[in-house]
Structure 1
Amino acid sequence: MDETVPSSPGDRDGATGDPSAAGDDSAGARSMTVRGAAFLGVGSMVGAGIFALLGEAGAVAGAAVWLSFLLAGVVATLQGYAVAKLGARYPSSGGIVTFLLQAYGRGHITATASWLLYFAALIVTAMVAVSFGNYGAALFFDDSTVWSKILTAAVIVLVAAVNIAGTTLIDRVQTVIVLILLAVFAVFIAVTLAQLDPALLAPSTYPPAVDIVSSVALTFFAYLGFTVVSFTGGDLPDPHRNLPRAMYLSLAITVTLYILIAVGVFGTLPVDEVIAHGDTALAVAAKPALGDAGFAIMALAALLATSSSVNANIYAAVGSTAKLAETGTFPPVFGHRALIGGTRGLTISAVLILLLALLVDLTAIASLGSVVALAIFLVTSIGAFRLRKEIRARTAILVTGIAATVIVLVVFAVQTLRTSPQTFTAMVAVLALAVALELIWDRLRTRRRV
């Protein structure tokens, strides 16, 4: 018989909303460190952002990509404040799902937003896994399409195995990977800034301001991983203090990296060349100063970053689906133990990511994943506003975050409807799918109770 995975101490505490209970570390072992939680966020963001997105962002924002990353970082930090306050008050391995439950209850808003969150996570993880495969094929197999797909599938399966092994191994793996990445990026930033051509970054070459603001919805894709930190609440000791610390640390590291790397790349290569090289633009930018060794080093860094991002996102998917199954928002099968370890939510998620990565052109829907996530974070920030007294959050910061997110979403929606109606249609279709799944499961759940 299937067994539902018992919730962690953090899950139970988050569900009750009792702050004293939530902070009681004696309820169970807490196996995640602040450094590990922060690096989980950094690993998730860096893999999704710089390696998988730089070329596509350049096609919209041109040489002003650094500015787009800065603006997106401001929006992410404002939202990170709301998520950190919620996480400190309601620590849980369910992350944002727990916050939605606290703010809106177990109704249609929470359920629909949860489906959207799950879709966004699948898209982001699949896209980053594809980036891993592309870099691996470019480095070892002369850009072989077959090997790209093999490596894409391999990283998903390997990361699923790491998540089955447990939180302690995830912490250690993420820490090692991110420390190596930070060292590599420090070298990359130093050599690219040393050979910078200021003319390539001249404001006169920037696109119109409306295009830069519109591109923020795309570059925000690079920050989606900050929410992974919220899922460590059930594994962090003293989450009231440590979860916000991990959140702000991960965002500070990532925003700084993105701006410096974007300046280095677009100050070294013309925009057209960055767009042409796409996923491998960083490796190409390192080549003038470091030669073929520079390309190889950055390609290896890309493999580490993208595998780290896949790992972090799957970790979050496991926590969220288990919480959703526990509360009845998702079918209970997501919370059942799998035969090979972990939950069936992990197995289902890994299979769906595999199918997306191998069968769908993900570059065409990158902006879709980003705008869906922005909408979810908007709902979360509004939830934080509703709970602002309980979570002791500053109203002005919450309102500023909500306003900034609304502006980005509106500008992006208008621009998308004007320039890419197919993507706009896809956005509406994803929302409709989430609503349909919620209504179908709600009806099935009601019949089971009768």
Structure 2
Amino acid sequence: MTPETYKEGSLSLAGTVAMGTGVMIGAGIFALTGQVAQYSGPAFPLAFLLAAVISGFSAYTYIKMSDKYPSSGGIAMILQKAYGPTTVAAASALLMTMSMIINESLVARTFGAYSLQLFDIENTDTLVPVLAVGLIAVAFLVNIAGNRIIGGVSKIAAVLKVGGILIFSGAALWASGFSFEAASSATEDGTGPAGFLAGVALAVLAFKGFTTITNSGAEVRNPGRNVGRAIMWSLAICLVVYMSVAFAVGSSLTLEEIVAAKDFSLAEASRPAFGDLGVGFTVIIAIIATASGLLASVFAVSRMLAMLTDMKLIPHRHFGMPGGIQKHMLVYTVVIAAILAAFFDLGRIASLGAIYYLVMDIIIHFGVLRHLRADVGARAWILVSAILFDAAALGAFIFIKATSDPAIILIAIGSMTAIFALEALYLGKVRNKEVSGHESSHAH
């Protein structure tokens, strides 16, 4: 085993749950509460609840596959088993990887937006991306140090942020007298069913971190049992946290105030009742949550990219860098995340991530339904339900974004088309080389 390879069985059940919740809570609550409220209106807590239901159906597919085939880069493994070494499998795995990298840039910008709430600074447009890129660089350095440090940091951060968020939620609800300002202040015309479902599509991003656990299957102790348990525990913990925060924010701020402060809505929600002290407490928890979430995500993405390379599904160039594939993938991951964090705002980053993830998720469920259902003992009606839930959320989200920000739809379609085309070209070259090598060996 090379020094860069993470040790098999090095993640305990508690460590795995901490890693999963670390990614979810880092991305979900702090980055997406205001974004979801903007689309779903005063019913945004219900959007998080429905997103949890959708994620539960989705998790069924991943748990069934991981129980039988635990593996690092687990999503790539699922796709290859469902579709073989094809363009669909390789491109879909890259969509998932890009969705996770997009999530990293989302979390990094959230870190910047919250950190600046501690200071009276006006020029946030420049400083947010600077802080975001800085955090990504730190996450890279910690990941180079290896799995033991990541696991230790994730456990400590998970306890601090879950505890801190629940304290914030309870205090905000108590201070407001358990009223719900967001609902009472909403205008009558509302957002409509399509807007609500678009909010649900974004809220799904807050739960998709459970796939981090799937991608780390080989590092989990007793993976046949613990991967599924860790996924369900992570989803349950995050649902409790998200619902408590959604009601706390809605009890402190009107819907208009939530949308106005959508990039740092939790910090703003603590201001009416607790002033600067409450803002400071919330920002510190946000910094812990986003930093640990980014740390865990970089770990998972680099492992998945390394596996895709080993499976010969994506090309690899080391560009003169020292070390092996794992370190190279860490570099590629943080470079792409840093570019996105520097040039895209939170809303567009979240939109692109939601589209990529939902498309990939539908492809996975369909592949398991069509080719692997009997092999892993999955129930057809659950797989079909997962596809329909994803399709409804994706369709509503595309409809809403097509009217409000058509450019991001064009970017999503164009980039996905490019990914599929480049993968088809690369895999064609790989097959031609294999055929040429096979013919050469026979000629001799």
TM-score normalised by length of structure 1: 0.89
Deviation (angstroms), 1:338: 4.2
Give yes or no for the alignment of 1:317 onto 2:301: yes
- Paired position in structure 1 for 2:169: 189
Conserved? CA contact 1:216–1:408, under 8 Å: yes
Quote the RMSD (CA, aligned, Å). Answer: 2.5
Matches within 5 A, 1:360-399: 360-385=344-369, 386-399=371-384
* CA distance in structure 2 between the aligned counterparts of 1:255 and 1:267, rounded to whole angstroms: 18
- Paired position in structure 1 for 2:80: 101
Letter in 2 for 1:425: L
* CA distance in structure 2 between the aligned counterparts of 1:424 and 1:158, rounded to whole angstroms: 32
CA 1:139/1:6 → structure 2, altered by over 3 Å: closer, same or farther? closer
Give yes or no for the alignment of 1:271 onto 2:255: yes
CA 1:199/1:182 → structure 2, altered by over 3 Å: closer, same or farther? closer
Q: Percent identity?
A: 29
- Paired position in structure 1 for 2:440: none
DSSP-derived class of the 2:22 partner: helix
* CA distance in structure 2 between the aligned counterparts of 1:85 and 1:337, rounded to whole angstroms: 38
Aligned partner of 1:85 among 64, 67, 79 = 64
* CA distance in structure 1 between the aligned counterparts of 2:266 and 2:5, rounded to whole angstroms: 42
* CA distance in structure 1 between the aligned counterparts of 2:336 and 2:60, rounded to whole angstroms: 31
Aligned partner of 1:35 among 7, 10, 14 = 14
* 1:1-58 superposed Cα distances (whole Å, 9 cap, x missing partner): xx999977xxxxxxxxxxxxxxxxxxx7411011111111111111111111222222
* CA distance in structure 2 between the aligned counterparts of 1:5 and 1:337, rounded to whole angstroms: 16
CA 1:341/1:395 → structure 2, altered by over 3 Å: closer, same or farther? closer
Q: How many residues align?
A: 429
Unaligned runs of 5+ in 1: 9-27
Unaligned runs of 5+ in 2: 437-444
- Paired position in structure 1 for 2:183: 201
Give yes or no for the alignment of 1:115 onto 2:100: no
DSSP-derived class of the 2:218 partner: coil
DSSP-derived class of the 2:253 partner: coil
DSSP-derived class of the 1:267 partner: helix
Letter in 1 for 2:137: V
Give yes or no for the alignment of 1:159 onto 2:143: no
- Paired position in structure 1 for 2:51: 72
CA 1:367/1:250 → structure 2, altered by over 3 Å: closer, same or farther? same
Letter in 2 for 1:61: S
Aligned partner of 2:211 among 205, 227, 230 = 227
Which has the higher mean CA deviation after the structures are superposed, 327-336 or 221-230? 327-336
Aligned partner of 2:402 among 407, 417, 420 = 417
* CA distance in structure 2 between the aligned counterparts of 1:414 and 1:154, rounded to whole angstroms: 35
Conserved? CA contact 1:132–1:307, under 8 Å: yes
* CA distance in structure 2 between the aligned counterparts of 1:42 and 1:29, rounded to whole angstroms: 21
Deviation (angstroms), 1:144: 4.8
Give yes or no for the alignment of 1:127 onto 2:106: yes
- Paired position in structure 2 for 1:25: none
- Paired position in structure 2 for 1:59: 38
DSSP-derived class of the 1:49 partner: helix
DSSP-derived class of the 1:142 partner: coil
CA 1:58/1:232 → structure 2, altered by over 3 Å: closer, same or farther? same
DSSP-derived class of the 1:328 partner: coil
Conserved? CA contact 1:88–1:243, under 8 Å: yes
- Paired position in structure 2 for 1:14: none
* CA distance in structure 2 between the aligned counterparts of 1:404 and 1:364, rounded to whole angstroms: 22
Deviation (angstroms), 1:229: 1.0
Which has the higher mean CA deviation after the structures are superposed, 415-424 or 261-270? 415-424
Aligned partner of 2:391 among 397, 406, 409 = 406
